Every structure is written in C-alpha cells, then in structure tokens.
Structure 1
Amino acid sequence: MNTLIKCIILDDELPGLAYLKLLCEQIEELDIVKVYNDPVAFLNEYQTLDFDLCILDINMPGINGLQIANLLTNKYLVFTTAYKEYAVEAYDLDVIDYIVKPIKKERLLQAIAKVKSRFVKENAVKDFFQFNTNKGKTLLFFDQLFYIRTSEVDARDKVASFYDGSTVVLKNVSFNKLLGILPSSQFVRINKKEVVAFKAVQLFSYDEITLNVSSENGKPITLSIGEAYREAFVQKLKS
C-alpha cells in the first residue's frame, strides 16, 4: 500500500507558511499538494483537490480554521496556532493534533506520526463499504465498481455501475463523502457529476476519457474531464 500522505498547507502569514512548507518537505511521508495563504482561495478549490491531510492555522481573517475544518469531512486535520485557548474546541472536531507556534520540527514530526498511524490503519486491506441503496443495505466491493454518477432523478443520490452490467443507487450521499471512502489510489473525480475507477480508463485526452467498458449500444463509454478537475486527474496518474 502506498503510505505517502497527500497534504495541503493553509496559513495566512507568509513567513510562517514558507517555514512550515520547508519543514513538511523534509518529511518523507508527506507529498505537498498545494499551499495557500488565503482561506477563501482554498475554499474555492478544495473540492477539486486530491489530498488526505490539511495542516491549517486557526486564527485567519474572514473565516477561521475551525470553520474550515467543519467543511473538510473525511480529511485528517492538524491545527497550528499561536493561541492555546483554541485547543479544546479543536479536539471537538476530531483533529489529530494541535501544534502551538512557533513550530518546531520535532513537534511536527510527532503530529505526522499520529496522522500516518491513522492513515495506515484506515486504508489497510479494506476493499468494500456498506451503503444505503435503493435495494437496502448493500456491500459495495471496490474492485467490481468502475463508475459513479449523479442520479438524474435526485441529485442527492449517486448511481454506481459495475463491470457485470448491474447498477445500484446510493442514497443521499455526497461525492465528498464517497471520495473519503473510496481508495484514492483507485478512483478519481473527473467532473462535478462523475467519478471513475482508474483501471477502467483506456484512453484519455485533454478533455475526454474513454473507458474500457462499453455502453448498451456496444460503443466504448466516453466521459468529459472538467477543467477544474483536470490537474488533480493528471497528478493522480503520475502518483
């Protein structure tokens, strides 16, 4: 299993951000996906980014780190701050660690060790998940799944397609939650309404994917790559 942890760093203070990035680049378990000094810019993009961990400051202008953490479902969180009084509220959010500034490398390494421990445990072996579907509780095996799209009947639901030609409707589940459950090394979101399995991708161009699965008319299935998701798709291919 690949144990490289994909990381986003968010801090509005540029000197502190640069220093934290430098420290993180020295930690072999981390893959730095992107750094932000503007929480609004991060919020505009985070749904299109492929990452496991967010290391973020709490006290930022406009929207603070605690508010952002509430939006980051199924992500590992490590807070950095100069204010110790935030600690209790931070841990209420199931934050893995809370580092008081100024940040020392040894303390950061301790936090990343905690993240890695959870990451390895939660990503080991498991190859299925239980979902509420239109057919009741269903075990969805990841190796049998090649495609998930938003339902045309109810956008809160998602339609999962399997290699054997069957489909099932996943009830009231967001793509953010799905991507937190699906193995990130096996699945990728390609636009606002679709997720595909990497092993189903036969060909791809700048804005289109051809799957190695045929539609009902016998022709290969082709899907569009959304502009906002293209970079994450390409980066995943390289990983």
Structure 2
Amino acid sequence: MLQCVLLDDELLALQYLKLLCEQIEGVEVVKAFNNPEKFILEKDTLQFDVCILDIEMPAINGLQIANLLTDKKVIFTTAYKEYAVDAFDLDVIDYITKPVQKDRLEKAIRKVEKLTRETKPTSDFITLNSEKGKSVINTNDVFYITVSEIDSRDKVIYFTDDSHLLIKNSSFEKLQELLPLNRFCRINKREIIAMNCVNYYSHDEIVSKIMVDGKPKNFTIGINFRSSFLAQL
C-alpha cells in the first residue's frame, strides 16, 4: 500500500485530487492539507511515501516544500507549465498539469511504486499468524495467496510443492507490505500471485507455470489491477 499526503491551497482541487487517489488501487491518502505552513509543521509526524502537491501557493510554494522533502518522493500538480524545468531540477517523480486526469495520476503513482520496489530492502522470510501458530514462510516457495472460502478475513497461501497454509485475520494490504514487492502482485480482489510463476498472459488472464491436475493454473486479471501487474513485468 502506497501512503501519500496531498497539498493544495485550493480546497475544491484538493477534494478532487483526494477523490482520484481513492479510486486508484493500492493508494492510501494519509492526510490532505490546504495550508502549506500547516503541512510543514506536521510533515515529520506523518508516515508517507509520496507527497502530491500544487506548486503555486501563498506564503511558500511547492518548489520550496519539495526542497524540504529530501527523503520523500514528490509529484507536482499545477496549472502552470512554466514550472516544469524547475520541478525536474528537484528530481521529482512526475509533473502533472491541471486539470488532473485519473489515468495520468495513476501513471505517476505507478512510477513511485516501481521506484519503491527497486529501493526497498527484501527478505526471503516473513512471519505470519497461521492456524498452527506463528509460521515462518520462505517467500521463494509461495505460488499464490487467495481469500479463504470459510472466512474472508483469513487467507490461504499455496506453495509450489502443492501444500497450503491458512493465515488468520490478515488483509491483502498487510501481506503486500510484508512480501517482496518486486516478486508478488495483487491481480484481483481475491488473489496475489508470485510473478515468477507467470508463464504468459492475455488482456484479462494469466496462465501460470504451476500444474494442477495436469493443467496449468489460470488466474483472472481484475480490470483495476491490470496496470499494476503490467508495471511489474
């Protein structure tokens, strides 16, 4: 889950940006600000991956704020194209001209996700609460994860050796935070798949390398998850 904060002094533009972010899979809006000075006071108390902000604001502009966010990723949204050169001199992720379109914003978000995957430390082992107690799982052995048919709060991990394990009360968002981001992808509302198990794919279907009853296991690619899947290929 990518955590973001929003900053725009125009309230309607801020509300619209927040609405767009909430429609993009894998994005959580931590907080939205319409006052840059208030954001500066609170920024060190917030946990976030990216700041999406306007440039032209009173008192302090977005370029100045970006200079303060040296350890965070930045996406600019602005009605003024003349700021583009200055923005990219700051090594920001993207520069979106207003009015912001959902597909353009999502493209910028996927850039952030890709960079996050490339820089995030990875571990082969994760610990989860299972039906057997605390279980240490080697993620190299995971084939896919799906929602339990008995209780949707639980998940079932299927391994490449045909075994499986019931994980208790764990959301997909939590699992995605723990799993190596460059090796796993949520492909629909009910499943996460190991990318190295993908054999080939079409517009809406994945054919995996794993055989079940003598046939390849197939998966559906949800329409809202396709772009994030393609970004990991």
Q: How high is the TM-score relative to the length of structure 2?
A: 0.64
Q: Is the 8 A contact 1:11 1:56 kept in 2?
A: no
- CA-atom RMSD, angstroms? 3.6
Select which of 117, 129, 132 maps to 2:129: 132
1:53-86 superposed Cα distances (whole Å, 9 cap, x missing partner):
x8987325xxxxxxxxxxxxxxxxxxx8332685
> AA paired with 1:232?
S
d(CA) in 1 for partners of 2:179, 2:122: 12
Correspondence for 1:82: 37
d(CA) in 1 for partners of 2:5, 2:150: 38
The equivalences for 1:39-50 within 5 A come to 39-47=18-26
Select which of 227, 233, 236 maps to 2:223: 227
Report the Cα offset of residue 45 of structure 1. Answer: 1.9
Does residue 209 of structure 1 match 2:209? no
Secondary structure of 1:58's match? strand
Correspondence for 2:70: 109
Q: How many residues align?
A: 179
> AA paired with 1:214?
M
**Measured at CA, do residues 135 and 59 of structure 1 come closer, stay the same or move farther in structure 2, by a change above 3 Å?**
same
Report the Cα offset of residue 92 of structure 1. Answer: 4.8
d(CA) in 2 for partners of 1:199, 1:97: 28
Select which of 160, 163, 167 maps to 1:166: 163
Secondary structure of 1:176's match? helix
> AA paired with 1:81?
P
Secondary structure of 1:154's match? coil
> AA paired with 1:41?
L
Secondary structure of 2:151's match? coil
d(CA) in 1 for partners of 2:46, 2:4: 18
Q: Which runs of 5+ in 2 are unaligned?
A: 54-58, 74-115
Does residue 59 of structure 1 match 2:14? no
Q: Is the 8 A contact 2:144 2:157 kept in 1?
A: yes
> AA paired with 1:225?
I
**Measured at CA, do residues 157 and 55 of structure 1 come closer, stay the same or move farther in structure 2, by a change above 3 Å?**
closer
* Aligned sequence identity (%): 29
Q: Is the 8 A contact 1:145 1:197 kept in 2?
A: yes
Report the Cα offset of residue 12 of structure 1. Answer: 4.3
Report the Cα offset of residue 93 of structure 1. Answer: 4.4
Correspondence for 1:184: 181
Q: Which runs of 5+ in 1 are unaligned?
A: 1-5, 18-35, 61-79, 113-118
Secondary structure of 2:161's match? coil
Secondary structure of 1:228's match? coil
Correspondence for 1:146: 143
Q: Is the 8 A contact 1:149 1:195 kept in 2?
A: yes
Secondary structure of 1:227's match? coil
> AA paired with 2:69?
L
Secondary structure of 1:148's match? strand
d(CA) in 2 for partners of 1:12, 1:37: 10
Rg comparison, structure with higher value: 2
Secondary structure of 2:187's match? strand
**Measured at CA, do residues 207 and 169 of structure 1 come closer, stay the same or move farther in structure 2, by a change above 3 Å?**
same
> AA paired with 1:109?
T
